[in-house]
Amino acid sequence: MAVFNGLAHTRACLESLRTTTEPFRLVVADNGSSDGTRELLDRFPYPYPLTAVRSESNGNVIAALNRAWRLTDTEFVCLIHNDTEMVEPAWLSRLLAALAEPGAGLAGLYGAKRLRASGRLVGRTIVHSLLPRPTVKAPWEDVAFVDAVCLGISRRLLESVGGLDEDYGFYHGIDRDLSLAVADRDRRRLVVHAPFWHHGGKTRARGFAEDPGLERADLARRDTALARFAEKYRHRLPLDVRGPRERVRDWVRTRLA
C-alpha cells in the first residue's frame, strides 16, 4: 500500500483489515504524509504485522509500491489502495484460491473482459465486487485486465515481469501493463467475488475542485500513459476474453438498454 495523506481513508482501510481470515503482513510506503498518517503508522493499533517505509516528499507512487513489495518475503503479494474497505473477511483467501486455479497469474476485485486496440476498456464488459451491487459471478470470472485497486500475484511472477513499470506516472497504466505482462506469459487474469467499498480517487483527485488545471494535467497524463501502453502491447491488443455467446449477449443487452 502506498499513501499520501488521506488519513481518514487509510484508517478506515486498516480497520477493515482486522477481520481478514487469512494471515498477512502489511507494508505501507508513506510518500511524505503530513496529516497524522505517520503518527498512525508509528503507534499502529492493529493486530497484524506492519512494515512502514517513508519518503519526505510525494514522489513516484509506482516506485513507492515497488519499494514496498520488495520488502516482503511472502509467496504472494497483494497491492491495495488505501481508499478501500474490505467487507468480506475471506477476501484474501478468495484471491489466493483464484491464484491456485490452473494457469492463473493475477487476481483482483475489479476488471474488464475487453480492451480496445487503443488500450481503453469497454464499459459493458466490466465485472467487479464493488458494493452496493457487485457484478462478478462467484467465485470468479476471467478478464482481460485486473484493476490496481486490489490485486494479488505471486512474488515469483511479479519478479519475472520486472515489477511495476515506473514510467507510467501516478498509477496510470500500471494495472493494464501488469495484466498484459501476465498475459504474455499465458497466465489468466481473474476478478473474484469478495464485496468491498471503494471511496474512489480521493488521493489522486485532491485539489481538482480548487484548481481545474490539476484535473486537466491529470487527464493529459492519463492520455499519455494510455498511448504508451497501447504502443507497448500492440502485439496483444485488442484483447477480449469473452466467448462468442457472451459477446452476442453483451451486444444484445447494449442494444436493448
Tally: H helices and E strands in the chain? 8, 15
For residue 185, the tally of other CB atoms under 10 A from its CB is 12
The model's confidence at residue 58, banded by pLDDT at 50, 70 and 90, is: confident
* Triad 129, 101, 86: Cα angle to 5°: 25
Q: Is the pTM higher than 0.85?
A: yes
Provide the CATH number for the domain around residue 81: 3.90.550.10
* Contact call for residues 129 and 136 (beta carbons, < 8 A): yes
The residue segments making up the domain with residue 247 are 2-256
Fill in the amino acid letter for 153.
Answer: I
Number of domain units in the chain: 1
The neighbouring-strand residues paired with 114 are 240
Q: Write out pLDDT tens, residues 103-161.
A: 999 999 999 999 999 999 999 999 999 999 999 999 999 999 999 999 999 999 999 99
